[in-house]
Amino acid sequence: MKKRIVKLLLMSVTAGLLATGCGAAGSSQAASAEKSESAEASESMEESEDSESSENTQETKNTSTSENADETNDSAASENVEGAETTEESENLEELTDVDQSDVPADFLQNQCGKVKFKDFDEAISYLQDGQGYATVKAYGSDEELLAVADNVFLADNTTDDASIYAVDGDQVRFLGVVSGNGSSFPLRVDENNIIYGGDNHTYQTYFLTSNDNGVPLIMQKDYIYDNFDGTYGGFTRKDDTPRVSDDFVGGQEEFEALLSERDSLPAIEFTIVGNPEESTD
């Protein structure tokens, strides 16, 4: 009887141990399965993240490449436009250079009559309008008489501060250039050497007659001296009518004011007024 009881107890213990072992094994297997599933999920997530990261990186690269390409295209297009504009400007400049400048209206007289050349002084004068004026003068560098025409003549003394100079050149009358003063207080003047004076209280300008490299006569500045408004003075002077030979002005206030005083003591050029000045539109 005792042996039977002991055997039953042993069988019970064994069954319990087996049950426990199976439970542990099941738990272990479940844990392993959970770990496996977790690992798979983790790997899947990593793969997904890697894939998304790779796709984002690729998109970023593509976007960057696209933007760079757009910028490059825009830059190239801009350069092409600028290049085209530069070429166009250059072509326009060449076209302007090719134009015979003697056929382009150069002053008020040529613009109002539509002509740039006249057969003689009388024809040029005939195109002047009421209130405009003319005078015959000489300019240092030539003994030939020149025609000065003015768009505006001051009625108080028949002087002007701005005139176009014409000369007989072969079988025509040619425009030489413009000489300028500044208002009725600074009219055009001339000295005994036929140097024409212009300028104002801050500039000293003189003019003479010379010619360009092609032998065409023209009016050019002999002296141009100016006040820098800081106690210093600049400009150039020429001893004669040689156009490309000049010296820098190195004087100060005393020398500058002496030049202005000498100029203002010279006689002003008097003009003959055409027509009725009161009918002038100016």
Residue 110 pLDDT: 96
Average pLDDT over residues 208-213: 87
Q: Spell out the SS3 assignment of 25-53.
A: HHHHHHHHHHHHHHHHHHHHHHHHHHHHH
Residue 103 pLDDT: 78
List, for residues 2-51, the tens digit of each pLDDT value. 444 444 444 544 444 434 443 433 444 433 444 444 444 444 444 444 44
Residue 243 pLDDT: 67
Average pLDDT over residues 247-261: 96
- Contact between 176 and 219 (Cβ < 8 Å): yes
Q: Is the pLDDT reported for residue 273 higher than 70?
A: yes
Residue 227 pLDDT: 96
The rounded mean pLDDT for the chain is 75
Residue 126 pLDDT: 97
Interior angle at CA 185, CA 184 and CA 186, nearest 5: 90
Kindly state the DSSP code that residue 278 receives in the 8-state scheme. G
Higher pLDDT, 23 or 194: 194
pTM value is 0.63
- Which range has the worst mean pLDDT, 56-60, 111-115, 167-171, 220-224? 56-60
Go through the chain and tell me how many residues it has: 282
Higher pLDDT, 143 or 8: 143
- Contact between 193 and 222 (Cβ < 8 Å): no
Burial 197-232 (b: 16+ CB within 10 A, else e): bbbbeebbbbbbbbbeeeeebebbbbbbbbbeeeee
Residue 239 pLDDT: 81
